[in-house]
Structure 1
Amino acid sequence: MKHALPLLTALALSVPSLALAHPHIFAEARLEVIAGDDGNIQELRNVWRFDEVFSSSVLLDFDANTDLKLDEKELAELGEVMRTSLADFDYFTTVTADGKSEKVQKPDVIHVSYDQNQVMVFFAVKPEKTLPLKGKLTFGIYDRSMYTAIDFPTDEDLVAQGKAAEACKREVVRPDPDEIIAENSATLTDAFFNDPTGTDMSKLFATRLELTC
């Protein structure tokens, strides 16, 4: 999988019979939206902890010296593979400002650790252009193909930090899948649920942080 990891969903995609629109890789996440003193979004800090099944497959693929652990060099290689392969998917990051999608920059580095048989990933991304804390902003982490399920265990795992953010109303939105399907039955077709590349409409199902400033 080391060479077949253009995205983290490669594990599921490697078996054609599993190419269905439901998750096969699971991760718990924390997202910190950092506001600068200038009133703009400075960066988004991510922590992802992957499930043991996916983590064990990563161990097998990147444990070059077969000592059943990932040393500093092996972890750095894994981080660079992720940094490169997730670029086309915006690092599973979605940001909107008053409904308009905003891009993020490629992170300088993705740090990886292997702790208690689980891969943990740490990295920060910055908005591609200046993003002021004005109007309604939303921030989420999701895989539009829905092969990777990214969960925020508590609402406190989605936070906004910085003095400029204190003036904003914060809300964590956790959509109900049944309600989303019922409300969008005309557009959520069989093609949507079976498209392995995913669609932008999958963000309807994603947990997100909303800031109203």
Structure 2
Amino acid sequence: MRLLISLLTCCLPIPALAHPHVFIDTGLEFIVDDAGNLTHVRVTWAYDELYSLFELEDRKLDQDGDGLLSDSEQAFLAGFDAQWLEGYNGDLVLWSEGRIVPLSGPAEPTATTENGRIVSTHLRAVEGAPVAASALSAKAFDETYYTAYEVTRPVTVTGNISCNIEKIVPDIDGQLAQMRAFLLTLDADYDLEENDIPLVGEDFATEIRVSCPST
């Protein structure tokens, strides 16, 4: 991912192209009930070292610098990233049979540190009609690519059911080639901020496919 950022910011002719400022290692837990329906998704975000350092310093946490938080500090930090504006999708899109599954806002937030990195979790409930866990697809991404998500932490299914999990890694080289071809068509004075900035976040997102047998 760091190599990708270098290519985007240094090798392409438009310096204003959006590029990540925050890097998050992501994990997902799909919670399925006895009827085989998805009820919740628990999301884990592990922030990069630099962002974590800024957050901890700003909140005056981990004053001894050992990279560990006390119970009271963890309680204070919990939910720091769960104050979402209305309409924010939590940088997670979930599909079932080609339709987007509506999810609630974050609940039961937690936060701790691992080797100096902030690791937070939150729980999101499936809203509306029941959603069978027979065929699900999920992507964690920020469409503006300000935040880069990589699904490097565990992806699991919780429930009395055996499911298959498949990780589909994007064609980074192909996406970069398309982006470079697009940028080379632009005039050097082209202002991306006054025009449509390419929303490339989903193009670089790993797709998670979950399939569970019908009960």
Same fold (TM over 0.5): yes
Aligned partner of residue 129 in structure 1, secondary structure: coil
What fraction of aligned residue pairs are identical, expressed as a percent? 25
Amino acid across the alignment from 2:131: P
| Equivalent pairs, count | 191
More off after superposition, 172-181 vs 34-43: 172-181
Q: Distance in 2 between matches of 1:78 and 1:194?
A: 34
Partner of 2:10: none
Distance 1:119 1:35, change over 3 A: same
**Match runs of 1:129-144 below 5 Å:** 129-133=128-132, 136-144=135-143
Q: Distance in 1 between matches of 2:88 and 2:198?
A: 11
* Alignment TM-score, normalising by the size of structure 2: 0.70
Distance 1:185 1:40, change over 3 A: farther
**How far did 1:84 drift?**
1.1
**How far did 1:56 drift?**
0.5
Q: What stretches of structure 1 of length at least 5 have no aligned partner?
A: 1-17
Amino acid across the alignment from 2:41: L
**How far did 1:104 drift?**
0.9
RMSD: 3.7
Q: What stretches of structure 2 of length at least 5 have no aligned partner?
A: 1-14
Please tell me whether the aligned partners of residues 97 and 137 of structure 1 are also in contact (alpha carbons under 8 angstroms): yes
Q: Distance in 1 between matches of 2:114 and 2:208?
A: 28
Partner of 1:102: 101
Q: Distance in 1 between matches of 2:92 and 2:198?
A: 14
Q: Which runs of 4+ in 1 moved over 6 A?
A: 183-191, 197-201
Aligned partner of residue 88 in structure 2, secondary structure: helix
Aligned partner of residue 178 in structure 1, secondary structure: helix
**How far did 1:199 drift?**
7.7
Aligned partner of residue 90 in structure 1, secondary structure: coil
Partner of 2:51: 54
- The structure that is helix-richer by fraction is 1
**How far did 1:174 drift?**
0.9
Matching residue within 170, 176, 179 for 2:171: 176
Q: Deviations over 1:177-199 (max 9, x none)?
A: 233466799999989x869x988
Q: Distance in 2 between matches of 1:142 and 1:71?
A: 31
* Alignment TM-score, normalising by the size of structure 1: 0.70
